[in-house]
Chain A
Amino acid sequence: MNGCCSIRVRMQVSVLTVTGLILAAVIFWSYLASRHRLEAEMESKAVSLADGAARRIDAKLGLLHGVVNGMALTLEAQALSVAFDDVRGMQTRCLDENPGIFGVCVALEPGEEPDGWADLAAWAYREGDQLAYVNLAGENDAHTREDWFTLPKHLARPVWSEPYEWEGLLMVTYSVPVYRGSGDRRRFTGVITCDLALDWLERMIAELPLGKNGYGLLLTRNGTYVSHPLPNIVLNETIFSIAEARNDPALRKTGQRMVSGEPGILAFDSFATGKVSWLAYTPLQSADWIMAALISREEMQAAILHLSRRQAAIGGGGMLLLCLAVGLIARSITRPIRDLRDAAETLASGDLDAPLPPPRGRDEVAVLTCRFGEMRDNLKRHIADLRETTAARERMHSELRIAHDIQMGLVPKTFPPFPMRNDLDLFAVLEPAREVGGDFYDFFLLDEKRMVVAIGDVSGKGVPAALFMAVTRSFLRSAFRSDADLTEVMTHVNNELVDGNDSCMFVTLFCAVFDLSDGSLKYVNAGHNPPVIQHSDGRQEWIAKPSGTVAGVIEDSPYTAGATELPEGAVLVLYTDGVTEAMNPDNALYDESRLAARLRASGSACDCRALTEDLVNDIRAFAAGAEQSDDITILMLKRRSAEQDGDAKLPVTVAPCHRFSFENRMEALETAMQEGDQFLEEQEASPKLAYAVRLAFEELITNTIKYGYDNQQRHTIEVVLDLAVPAVMTVTDDGRPFNPETDAPAPTLDGAVEDRPIGGLGLHMIREMGMKLDYCREHDHNILRVVFPEG
């Protein structure tokens, strides 16, 4: 972001552009305005010069008028009866008194001369300092053929002649006709003339202040030049002959305008100087001539251009200074900003402790720097806080995960839970809304015939509910250990919960004792959702009564037990309100009605797992993506056809299966192993598999026998060998809890247990052979599944 985009360059460019434009506009305007003004001045100057010169010429020529008219009047008055000598004398006096006059002539029409007149055309003139005289009539009355005689005669008025040259002098003659007689008898007698040398004219015109390339012109009515700056023009050329020579019709028109007798001014391309000029002209009053003054416009334009150039130069210099000043100001802004930018880069890279540039001055940039520093300090604080918070949250998360695992460990999850019993089909599912929840179910065997099932829902959600749930479960189990009476149990649990329950939490609880031999079901309900029995004939029986208060709130709250029967083929469905209160996106509840419908539809024919999965899928379909607001907990219990005690029937499997059951004595193990060999042989199992089975059997059972029991009592160890693909061996014993996989004690609520080392070589070999061990502990039994590798 340098170069053309930087602040300094931008400022300079924009300021210079704007001022440059303004300067250009101002100079241009002033040039035009000055030119306009000056042109107007020049015009009027030309006009006034032409006028002034014309008046001065008029003044001089006017003299002549006076003199000649005077003489004419005199002679006329006397009817020309004047002695010739008197006329001569008059001429001499006239010339003496008027130095400007070159010559005077009295010329008469032949026949009109008075008696005694010797010469018909008496002309007195100057020759140097002297006065000379000649008779212009000559021998043939030559004077009568001259324009100065014929023109006044025929025009009957005074006439100025065209200029002519006489002995190198430029001259002009003014002739006045003279008459005798009056009325009808008035007749032309002759002319009086006066000659004027025009050398003073040239001088005067040359002295006009017309500037460089300016000059004056004098023209006759015929366009003949009387005065012109170029040599050889005067008398030879007329303005029209020059126009003709230059093939310039515009010049001819100009000439015609000039000789028209009206004053005027026009723009003119002078052929004398080649410059564009103002031409101002005005007619003389005393003669038929036109005085013209030419002023060069170029001169004026050159002066204005010079001025404009000066202005531009000054302006340019000013702009340079401006550029400099702007650059300096820009620098004062951009330097701290650049420092700030560098600091920001360092900060952005993560180094929050990098030093910031110190604020200079009190302007906006300094304030920005201060704020920046504050922001940096805040950032540091926030990051530190965040780190702490994140660490705490991470800790909490990991603890929650552990809590989840612990909680999941609290509910039995192995199904079927009692594989050796096939008189009951039980399945349960718990899906917490959060990592941990307040729902739970539990089931365990009280004795050979009776089992306890329970379901509960702690108020609230999350860790508090989970903790309360754990407490409740442990109270429940410990209560059953001491007394099997339901109401006692419930009362005991309630009171224990009330004690120390500062947080006023409660739990809804349904607890039942199920007799597997006759299907009787005794139950007590502490405010929990009424379970339902789905009979095999389609009948639904809701266990709504009796129902007591929720547990954990009121001490010594009374509970009453109820009793019903669960026939064979009927399914007992326990659930929490996470089922009935499951919401879809339209906030409609799943409700008991849907639950009933679902159960009715499914019937009781299938096993509990299928039924439960059906129900869960139905609930999920209903929820249609809406967030699960509460834990969903379902437990289903079904009574199968009664079986004999102790000798459980093998579960029906597709694959060949053998069940061992023997005492915890090495001799019994030997026997069982032989039995196993035999079975494997019969099933034609591969030698590899047989070997693996023997190894695992021997190792694991030996371990159990040796270390699994604290007392000397007789315990039964049960092994199920399932030759499906892959082959699975399930070992169940009721000894001390022990997971051969790990050295660390398995998490349990029953207290700490020390390690029980297995023969290291044996375990190593088991693993080497690719066997997978799957351990769990349920209902005080260790259940170890060994999965043999395929092939």
Chain B
Amino acid sequence: MHDHHTCRSGRRIRHLPGMLVAIVLGVCTVAGAADEHGGTEALFPVRIALQWLPQSQFAGYYMASEQGFYRAAGLDVKLLHAGPGPSSLDFLVEDRAEFCTMFLGDAIVYAREPVALAHAAQFVQRSSLMLVGWKDMGIETPADLDGKRISYWPGTFSIAFTAFFHQYGIQPKVLPQHHSVNLFLHRGVAACAAMYYNEYHRIYQAGYDYDQLTLFLMRDYGLGFPEDGLYTSVETAARHPEVCRALRRATLAGWEYARQHPEEAIDAVLRASRRVGVPANRPHSRWMLEHVLVSIFPTENDVVPGRLERCRYQETVQALVGAGLIDDAPPFDAFFPVALQEEVP
């Protein structure tokens, strides 16, 4: 007895029935992987744990797999999905995957414990994190949030929100947000956390027009931090740096392909969703793909797709320290090993 809500993009905590789901997912994914071109000629096996259930957020990986970019790079990649159960980091920790995807913030927090992490690629450069409020509950400006009931996800998401509240000197009543925005839809809270590419559109698909909502995009307030990135253990990074680089390259190529062939990418996403029984519809997948692509290939000239910039790393570390989530963080070159820092063409 539980709901599957594909609104959550952060980490999950294990959950017994969730294990059942995860097993089902694993089986499906393996079965899916078996659909791909058989005959592996000395391909390096890699298992990537994606941080949530199938959705357009991972379209690049699907395309890289389906279009054979991984194979061409000499990699035999299996894609695994986390969900409400064990998180993608848990996969890495329990040696069920060699690579996993995570938010930068989470990676920095867990950089040393339980496993020493090495950063392999930074895909989502631009933050999509935001707060959404009801206009008809009086939320028009940040100041209106003061004293109101709002909800957001616990964890590293709070670094942006806390800074935001501090910036405006407001003190809302915070409730934890979990897998859905139903509390928000029931008007239980005046504002809730959302990803621009996901929950925001879900609210639209629940019948509420955009002009009924007020957005507070964290990046507009200087509080946007890089999000999805690819991580592995420090050992794997030391032993197979070329695999890391190849993975980054192939995945980027997959994202590029998804950008060129969005409908094909959406088809793959829907197929993956249906296989697992995750509710999905084409408009939502399209919306998510569009906005994830924009955050992966931003229009600012000084951003190289797939690469983590030192300054961004430092910013995030400072914000985390400021929020009291960490005391310190590894130096950049330890976090992002030099061997993995090859120029991305």
Contact = CB atoms under 8 A, between A and B. Distances in A.
21 contacts: A103-B1, A105-B1, A136-B17, A138-B16, A139-B14, A139-B16, A142-B18, A145-B176, A145-B179, A146-B2, A146-B3, A147-B3, A147-B178, A147-B179, A147-B180, A151-B186, A171-B1, A193-B1, A241-B205, A245-B282, A255-B207
B147 interface: no
Given A148-B3, A240-B207, 10 more contacts: A134-B16, A138-B14, A150-B183, A151-B182, A154-B183, A222-B182, A232-B274, A238-B281, A244-B283, A259-B207
Contact of B16 (A142, A165, A222, A239): A142
A2 B279 CA distance: 81
A238 B205 contact: yes
B1 A166 contact: yes
Contacts of B175: 150, 154
Contacts of A738: none
Contacts of B279: 235-236
Given A222-B185, A241-B205, A136 B179 contact: no
6 smallest CB-CB distances across A and B, nearest first, come from: A244-B283, A222-B206, A145-B178, A142-B15, A241-B281, A138-B16
B303 interface: no
A147 B180 CA distance: 7
Interface string B196-238: 0000000011110000000000000000000000000000000
Contacts of B2: 136, 146, 164
A506 interface: no
Contacts of B178: 145-147, 150
A256 interface: yes
Nearest to B13: A140
Contacts of A222: 182, 185, 206-207
Nearest to B284: A241
A140 B14 contact: yes
Contacts of A255: 207
A162 interface: yes
Contacts of B130: none
Interface string A179-222: 00000000000000101000000000000000000000000011
A136 B1 contact: yes
A223 B206 contact: yes
A581 B121 CA distance: 150
B309 to A, nearest CB: 35
Interface in A26-67: none
A196 B180 CA distance: 21
Given A103-B1, A145-B176, A162 B205 contact: no
Contact of A138 (B3, B15, B206, B280): B15
Interface string B1-35: 11111000000011111100000000000000000
Contact of B188 (A125, A154, A161): A154
Contacts of A155: 183, 186, 188
B304 to A, nearest CB: 34
A27 B207 CA distance: 45
Nearest to B185: A222
A282 to B, nearest CB: 17
Interface in A223-275: 223-224, 232, 235-242, 244-245, 252, 255-256, 259
Contacts of A240: 204-207
A782 interface: no
B50 interface: no
Interface in B255-288: 274, 277, 279-284
A173 interface: yes
B182 to A, nearest CB: 5
Contacts of A125: 1
Contact of B183 (A105, A151, A256): A151
B186 A173 contact: no
A788 interface: no
A151 B280 contact: no
A475 interface: no
Interface centre among B17, B206, B280 (most CB of A within 10 A): B206
Given A154-B175, A237-B281, A223 B1 contact: no
A278 interface: no
B205 A142 contact: no
B211 to A, nearest CB: 13
Interface residues on A, range: 35 or more
A162 B3 contact: yes
Contacts of A510: none
A354 to B, nearest CB: 95
B135 to A, nearest CB: 16
A155 B17 CA distance: 26
B10 to A, nearest CB: 12
A171 B3 CA distance: 10
B4 A223 contact: no
B153 to A, nearest CB: 10
A103 B185 CA distance: 26
B206 A164 contact: no
Contact of A241 (B183, B188, B277, B283): B283
Contacts of A238: 205-207, 281
Nearest to B18: A142
Contacts of A514: none
Nearest to B151: A154
B205 A244 contact: yes
Nearest to A166: B1
B189 interface: yes
A159 interface: yes
Interface string A458-480: 00000000000000000000000
Contacts of B176: 145, 150
Contacts of A103: 1
A151 B186 CA distance: 8
B281 A142 contact: no
Contacts of B185: 221-222
A123 interface: yes
Contacts of B204: 240, 244
Interface in B163-181: 175-176, 178-180
Contacts of B207: 222-223, 238-240, 252, 255-256, 259
Contacts of B18: 142
A242 B281 CA distance: 8
Interface string B138-165: 0000000000010000000000000000
A235 B6 CA distance: 12
A154 B189 CA distance: 9
A245 B1 contact: no
Contacts of B14: 138-140
A162 B280 CA distance: 15
A656 to B, nearest CB: 143
A236 B186 contact: no
A245 B3 contact: no
Contacts of A245: 281-283
A221 B203 CA distance: 12
A332 B19 CA distance: 100
A235 B5 CA distance: 11
Given A223-B205, A238-B207, A240-B207, A195 B1 contact: yes
Contacts of A195: 1
A164 B205 CA distance: 17
Interface in B108-156: 149
A552 to B, nearest CB: 135
Contacts of B179: 145-147
A767 B339 CA distance: 165
Contacts of B17: 134, 136, 138
B1 A147 contact: no
A123 B277 CA distance: 23
Contacts of B282: 241, 245
Given A138-B16, A147-B179, A245-B283, A165 B277 contact: yes
A173 B281 contact: no
B186 A142 contact: no
B12 to A, nearest CB: 9
Nearest to A173: B1
A192 to B, nearest CB: 13
